[in-house]
Amino acid sequence: RDPRFHSVCIAVAAQVDGTMGIQDSLEISHIEAYSWKDIPLGYLSHDHDRQIHDYLQGVTTLA
């Protein structure tokens, strides 16, 4: 993720119900929910496209 130092990415997949809301507006400015088919791949921050692609392909999983 960052070639300057060793880092680990942890992504969590969850099915949730309820109303979304931002708790820390200094850290997060906008949130949206998408179905898998509607995720705007190519427009996500950092390497999140790759993380989602790897998850959907079953490339990296830990249980």
Interval 3-55: pLDDT, tens = 788 877 787 888 889 998 999 999 989 888 888 899 999 998 888 898 888 88
Nearest to 9 by CA among 46, 58, 63, 56: 46
DSSP one-letter code for 26: T
- The span from the CA of 55 to the CA of 15, in Å, is 15
The identity of residue 20, as a single letter, is: M
pLDDT confidence of residue 6:
84
